[in-house]
Each structure stands twice: as C-alpha cells, then as structure tokens.
Chains A and B, each alone.
Chain A
Amino acid sequence: MRPLLRFLAIAAVVVYSLLPFLWFVLASWKSPAQLTAIPPEIVPAFHWGFYRSAVTTYGLLAYIRNSAIVAGATTAVSIAIGALAAYALTRFRSTWLRFYLVVLLCVSMFPQIAVAGPVWRILDALGWLNSYPGIVIAYISFSLPLAIWILATFFKELPYEIEEAALIDGCTRPQALKRIVLPLAAPGIFTAAILVFIYAWNEFFFALIILTSPALQTLPVGIALFPGEYTMPWGELAAASTIATLPLIALTLFFQRRIVRGLSAGAVKG
C-alpha cells in the first residue's frame, strides 16, 4: 500500500478509535458553559470543579474503592484457582478433562440473563446479596472459563520434560511447581490476571442486580445510575468516567502486546 494512503488510513483509524473518548475526557475539564456550547469548544478551561463535585456530591471515591476491592479480590482468587485447573488440564491426559475444557468454553458464552435469576436466588439464600463476598464469588465463577483457557494456552507451551528433569533432579511435585513451573508460567499468569481484572472492573450486569446500596456499588453501576432526569451532570459524569477508565487505559498501553497475545490465543486456540 502506498505510504501516503496508508498514513491517511492509519490516521483515520486512530482518530476514529480515540476521538470519541478523548472528547468525553476533555469534557471533564471544561467549564459548565463549555459543556453545552455550540459550536463545541475544543480546548477545555482546565476547570477541576467537576472532579471535586464528583467526589463530594456523587461519592466517586466510594465507587473507586469498591471497584478496586472487588476486581482485586476476583483477580487474585480466580487466577489461583484457574492456574491449578489449567495446570491439571494440560499435564494429565484424559478425555474427561478435555471435555471439561469444552464445557468451560460453552459456559463462557452463556448470556447473563440465562443465569441471572437463579444466581440472585443463590446469593439471597446465602445472605450474600449486596455484599463483597457475594459479588466476588460470582465474578470468580464467571471469569474462571476465561482465566483457565488463557492459562491453559500458556501452560501448553511449557514442555513437560522440563518438569520431568526437575523430578529426576530431586524435586517433589510441589517443589517442581514452585521452582520451575511458576517462574516459567509467570508471563502467562500475568496476562491472564490483566484480562480478568479488566473483566471484573468493567462488569455491569451482575453488579447491577447484586449490589443495591451506593456504599457497595462499583464504578460501572455508579456511572450508569448517575442521577439526572432532565439535565445530565455531564461534567461530573465525564470526570467519573475518566477516573474509572484511566487505570485500564494505562494497563492497555503498557501491556498491549501481552493483552493481544492473550486475547487472540484465548479466542483462536483450538
């Protein structure tokens, strides 16, 4: 493709991808008048008022704290359980294990509504509605298929002979796992952790039905339910959205190669 044409095409794609969100982020620093101005003013006034009122009036900090706790806990436990399962699935040969992988794949495609009602009832029976344990355990269960598939892809690339060498050299199985498998699987585990974190941070449907009090709600719920019937508090909304998205953008920019690998491996893997 001719360089000029290609440059224009790439520029178009980059603008198309970034402009809408950039526009929204800029809104968070505009003055109230700038928000609704026609023609729209591009350069914001660097007005921090919206961030302040997002925190004080709309409880942004609580949402951030909740999202951090929920996403963090989900990631830690999901990766731990998933790594064990993925290790077993790739090391031990048996047909029912392969069947389990297929089942996991199917499960990951279930629409949320198919399980929503009963999940709600289960958590209600456990007394875990509107609580951290409730949402975290639900998230762990839903992210496990993704975690296991990605981890299994990475584990498959570790030749089993290296573990056998460790066993012959004198390792017990747990020692071999700790000293050989874990260090070598670390990049894959890290990638899976990033993807699970992003999932848990962005999840909305179950957060909506499980978390009902603002003290516990996560960022997506807070942002979706931002009060405003006739005039929306766009400034605060933009500020909250920017803060909600910033960690993810940072993760994506720093680890985009890993993320791409994890996603395409997880999706294209056969």
Chain B
Amino acid sequence: MKRSERAALWFVLPSVFLVGLFSIYPILESARLSFYRMILMLPWLGDKYVGLENYRDLATDPVALDSLAVTLVFVGASAALEVLVGLGMALLLNESFRCRGLARAAVLVPWAIPTVVSSQMWRYIFNDRYGLFNFLLFGRATERYLAPLADARLAPAAIIFADVWKTSSFAALIILAGLQTIPDELYEAADVDGATAWQKFRRVTLPLVKPALLLALLFRTIDSFKVFDLVFVMTQGGPADATNVLQFYGYKKIFAEGMIGYGSAIAVGVFCFSLVLSFLYIRLIGASVLEKGAAR
C-alpha cells in the first residue's frame, strides 16, 4: 500500500494547509505576540519586545484575575447544570412513547438557534419593565421588578441560565447515546432480582452511563470556556465587569483597545486551560472506548 500512501497525502493536504494556517500557526503567533507591546490597527507605531512583562502585568491585573474568577464560576456552574439537566432530558427521551421524535426535535430547537438570537431573546425576557421573567415572578407588581442584567449579583446567573437553556440538549444527546448502549436485559435481570425503579437507576443506569456523563461534562466544560456571544449581546461584560469572562476580556483588549500584545497573553492563558481540558478529553475517549470494548 505504499504507492497509495503518497496519494493519501494529496487527499489530506488541503485540509492540513488550511488548519495549519488558521489554527496551528495563529496559536504559535499568539504566543509570540504575547512577548511584545503593540497596537493592532496602528502597525506604523512599531512593536516593542518586552519579554514576560505582559504576563507579569496579567498576573497582577485585578481585572484579569476577576475575569478568571468569573470564567471559572461560569464554566463550573453551567457545565454542571447542563449535564444535570441533560441527564434528566436524556432519561426522558430514552423511554419509548409516541411523538418521541417530536419531543427530541423540540429539545434540539434551542441548540439550533443562533446564540446571538438567543441572547437578544433573553434580553427581552429579562427586561426590567416588561420582561416575561419579571411578570412570571411578580405579576403586575411592576415596582418589584428586577433588572437581572444590570445587577452585578444576578447578571452572572442570568448568563448561566441562558447558556444552560441553549446547550443542555447537546449534553442530553451525548448522554442519550450512552443510555442507549445499556442493554434492556440488564434492567430485566434487575427486575427479576427484585429492584425498585430507584435502585435500578442507582445500580444499573448510573454506573453504566458514567462514561457518557463524564464525556458530556468535559465537552460542555471545553465549550463553556468559549462563551462570548452571550456576554457580548446581553451584558457587554458588565455590570462592573461582573460577567467579564476571559474570552470577552481578551476580545476587548485586542479589538476594542488594540492592545494585541497584552491581549495575546490573555489568549495564551485561555488556550492553555483549554489544552489541558482537551488532553483530558482525549484520554477519556480512549478510556471509554476501552470500556466499551470490554463490555462486548
């Protein structure tokens, strides 16, 4: 097959080129730029090599550290909630009932909606004067209405809620795939052994769906790091940087303020986080494939 291996190279070349140019090279370039001080759209001002100064600034920048905290809280809370809600949805969708296809389609709708549309939609619903959210909570008592997006304590919760609403169905799909690999016979055997519904869930379902749960958790964690659209549209990082997630902070630094050197340091930081997570993901697929192989 050696002749054909050379043909394989040609098949793969276009994608290698594009991925290399727009993903691999930029990462390396971001790392390089993080050692400079320069303005993005004013190249004639030149660039100045500053070594690790950007990183030192980053480590002591209170906004950056707050941003890290905000991001970690967001990632942790939304990933955990998405897996929980996803598990619930998956358990329901795993049962057979008429119109199961319709239910599944309904659950997929939030996923299909563009994130900016979803963000504007939640802005409308969270509106402090006529939003549906306030009406459902307080009825006509408009003087008690909240302004979640303008409240530094509520805004993060609002963003988390919006993210969970939109992406739990993705987690649900992954978990559902895992649930469907559990053979019916195991439940039947548990029935014969005298197990209650709760016991079946705890002792048959849960252990066997754990790989899928972990997968969904990891996937959602990696994805949550990328949150941007929600923050841009709903809060622009505010109020008072309460929702200033890392990706948004980096965007502001590079594209609003033009500080590409400093912004690249932020970018490199975020990248390292997600790299660690993606290695975990790859090890996990390896492990879950081994598990699947053993079960067979």
Indicate if A touches B (C-beta under 8 A): yes
Question: CB within 8 Å of B: which residues of A?
Answer: 1, 6, 9-10, 13-14, 16-18, 20-21, 23-24, 27, 35-40, 81-82, 84-85, 87-89, 91-94, 97, 100, 102-107, 109-122, 137-138, 140-142, 144-145, 148, 173, 198, 201-202, 204-205, 208-209, 219-221, 223-224, 226, 232, 234, 237-238, 241, 244-245, 248-249, 251-253, 256-257, 259-260, 263-264, 267-270
Q: Kindly list chain B residues whose C-beta atoms are within 8 Å of the C-beta of A88.
A: 7-9, 11-12
A81/B89 contact (C-beta < 8 A), A38-B142, A107-B24 known:
no
For B113, the chain A residues whose CB sits under 8 A away are 21, 202, 245, 248-249
Enumerate B273-296 residues with CB–CB distance to A below 8 Å.
Answer: 274-275, 277-278, 281-282, 285-286, 288-289, 292
The 10 closest A-B pairs by CB, nearest first: A270-B289, A88-B11, A141-B22, A115-B26, A118-B26, A118-B29, A114-B271, A264-B177, A202-B114, A113-B250
Q: Is B268 an interface residue (CB 8 A)?
A: yes
Give Cα A112–Cα B270 distance, bound, in whole angstroms. 10
A249 CA / B197 CA spacing, docked (Å): 36
Tell whether, in the assembled complex, residue A237 and residue B120 are in contact, meaning their CB atoms are under 8 Å apart.
Answer: yes
Are A224's CB and B116's CB within 8 A? yes
Q: A202-B114, A270-B286 are in contact. Are A232 and B22 (CB under 8 A)?
A: no
Distance A248 CA – B15 CA, assembled complex (angstroms): 27
Q: Does B49 contact A (CB under 8 A)?
A: no
Given known A23-B125, A115-B26, A118-B26, contact A144–B19 (CB-CB < 8 A): yes
CB B107 to nearest CB in A, in angstroms, measures: 5
Chain A: interface secondary structure? helix
Which parts of B116-156 form the interface with A (CB within 8 Å)?
A: 116-125, 129-130, 132, 135, 139-140, 142
Please measure, in the bound complex, the distance between the C-alpha atom of A224 and the C-alpha atom of B225, giving whole angstroms: 20
Contact of B21 among A16, A21, A102, A122 (CB under 8 A): A122
In the complex the two chains form, what is the Cα distance from A245 to B233 in whole Å?
A: 17
Residues of A close to B5: CB separation below 8 A: 92, 94
Bound together, the chains give a CA A92 to CA B2 distance in angstroms of 9
By the criterion CB–CB under 8 Å, are B121 and A117 in contact? no
| Contact B108 A117, beta carbon cutoff 8 Å | no
* A209/B255 in contact, CB under 8 A: yes
* Complex partner residue of A238 from B1, B4, B124, CB under 8 angstroms: B124
Count residues of B near A (Cβ-Cβ below 8 Å).
104
- 14 interchain pairs (CB within 8 A)? A17-B109, A20-B121, A24-B117, A92-B4, A113-B247, A113-B263, A114-B26, A114-B274, A117-B40, A118-B30, A121-B29, A204-B232, A256-B104, A267-B215
Verify if B176 is at the interface (C-beta below 8 Å from A): yes
Residue among B174, B226, B289 facing the most chain A CB atoms (10 A cut-off): B226
Q: Within the complex, which residue of A115, A223, A251 is in contact with B116, where a contact is CB–CB below 8 Å?
A: A223
Cα A115 to Cα B274 with chains together (Å) = 13
| Chain A positions within 8 Å of B251 at CB level | 113, 116, 205, 209
Contact in complex: A10, B97 (CB < 8 Å): yes
Beta-carbon contact of B109 and A249 below 8 Å: yes
A13 and B173 form a contact (CB under 8 A): no
Whether A252 lies near B108 (C-beta < 8 A) is: yes
Chain B positions 235-293 with a Cβ under 8 Å from a chain A Cβ: 246-247, 250-251, 254-255, 260, 263-264, 266-268, 270-271, 274-275, 277-278, 281-282, 285-286, 288-289, 292
A268-B215 in contact (CB<8A): yes
Q: Which residues of A contact B8 (CB under 8 A)?
A: 88, 91-92, 94, 97
